[in-house]
Amino acid sequence: MRKKIEDLENRLEKLSSICVAFSGGVDSTFLLAVAKKINPEKLVAITVASQFVPKREIVFAKRIAHSMGVEHRVHDVDILANEDVALNNKDRCFFCKKQVFLLVKESAQSLSVNHYLHAVNLDDLTDYRPGLKAAEELGFLSPLADAKFTKMEIRLASKQLGLETWDKASQSCLATRIPYDTKISAKSLIMIDAAEAFLQDLGFDQVRVRCHGKMARIEVVPKLIDKMMECDIRQNISIEFKKIGFAYTCVDIAGYKTGNMNDEILKPGRV
């Protein structure tokens, strides 16, 4: 761990100015904290707020950046206006990241910052993530992956640094809750965001609400499935989800799995 942190610091020390694409999640907060420690001449965190990002995550990112004393910019974008994104085919993430990271890069350049970083880790490279290609095309660096940091190592290192995000539940954009080739609507995203916020308020931090039309499929960590199925909790969820707009609600007995929607497109024979 010590060698990896030294490797990361050495990589960042070579950069006089740094822009971190900042979500407020475990990885980007750790990267920003180390960059702050290195103290480049210019450090800025840039967050892009779109319909794909839960509002509470934007609020959280603002608070974390402020607590770290880092200059922070937030830019709004109507990502669903990009038809290549809204159509939600298997390359959606590429088109989305291309637009978002281009905005981050342009914002950084306007501040005379010429090194752009995103917080992809080693584990991310094993999943289907076409957005990584977009980041590479735009010249973004990935120092966490280059230093061979896994997600668990980032959490452990974050704990050592005293970062409150060390045990924060993993997040992903709301578009990942909708099956590929199903066009994404603003209404569906609002429903998903509201449903997940409700479940998190009930204590189910690591949760996903997959949207299949009028049906919500809840994924929660396996050890909490029994708790979710307790009569009063189950009925409470059913009532609230109907208010949100879902006609049917089910719980996936396989439990939460990162990148679950990618399984369909990774099947043999799928182009």
Please say if the pLDDT value at position 266 is more than 80: no
Q: Categorize the per-residue pLDDT at 86 as very low, low, confident or very high, splitting at 50, 70 and 90.
A: very high
**Cα dihedral 68/69/70/72 (nearest 10):** 100
The gap between the terminal CA atoms of the chain, to the nearest Å, is 39
Report the share of the chain in percent with pLDDT over 90: 89
Please say if the pLDDT value at position 128 is more than 90: no
Q: Report the distance separating Cα 151 and Cα 166, nearest Å.
A: 10
Q: Categorize the per-residue pLDDT at 129 as very low, low, confident or very high, splitting at 50, 70 and 90.
A: confident
**Could you give all domains of the chain from N- to C-terminal order, each with its CATH number?**
2-167 (3.40.50.620), 174-265 (3.30.70)
CA angle 61, 185, 213 (to 5 degrees): 110
Distances (CA, A) of 179 to 34, 102, 260: 36, 26, 10
Q: Kindly provide the residue ranges of all beta strands, DSSP E only, lying in 86-214, ordered along the sequence.
A: 116-117, 207-212
Q: What is the pLDDT of residue 206?
A: 94
Q: Categorize the per-residue pLDDT at 258 as very low, low, confident or very high, splitting at 50, 70 and 90.
A: confident
Q: What is the pLDDT of residue 24?
A: 97
The 10s digit of each residue's pLDDT in 93-115 is 999 999 999 999 999 999 999 99
Q: What is the pLDDT of residue 271?
A: 43
Per 3-state DSSP, what percentage of the chain is helix, strand, and coil (rounded to 5)? 50, 15, 35
CB 151 within 8 A of CB 121: yes
